[in-house]
Amino acid sequence: MSASSTDLDLAFSADSDLELAPQLAGADHWQELLSAWLHRLAPDLPAALQAPAYSMGLSLVADAEIAELNADWRQKEGPTDVLAFAAQDEATDGAPPMPAFGEAEPLELGDIVISVETAARQAPEHGHDLEQELLFLASHGLLHLLGWDHPDAASLAAMLARQKELVKVLPEP
């Protein structure tokens, strides 16, 4: 782990039917990237989310799987680009974080699920290639896991600005 990253236990999965560049389908790429982002965000996190180590999941899926999750969890039909399932909602609202089982246990943040098919369709609309779009969606999901939300235009603008900062922070090779 480099000095510019945070210890992260990442559960990563990518649907084997998706056509992804090797680096996008590999856990190491996402591990380093998300660790670097957590390191960058650490000074601004609420006390309840300050931890020496984190744990989270990232799944890259097809439209069918994310559409099912979208219907089950948000009661919305059809696929969406990214879903974030925060494990620390109470911590971001001022309540104490979920108790850890021991000193060395990482703080569980939750899971991010990204539809690669939706990302591929919307990337050209945003002037991105697929990799840039996936990075943008992963940063969006991570911010949601850390308590960010966008109920209005001002908070959405602030969140998008933070995402742009994050996608510029790439781990050292």
Express each pLDDT in 107-145 by its tens digit: 999 999 999 999 999 999 999 899 999 999 999 999 999
DSSP-H helix ranges across 42-152: 63-74, 89-92, 116-122, 130-145
CA–CA gap between residue 173 and residue 106 (Å, rounded): 25
pTM metric for this prediction = 0.88
- Which residue type is seen at 9? D
- Return the number of other C-beta atoms located less than 10 Å from residue 161's C-beta: 10
Q: Which CATH superfamily groups domain 7-167?
A: Metalloproteases ("zincins"), catalytic domain (3.40.390.30)
Q: What are the extents of the domains in the chain?
A: 7-167
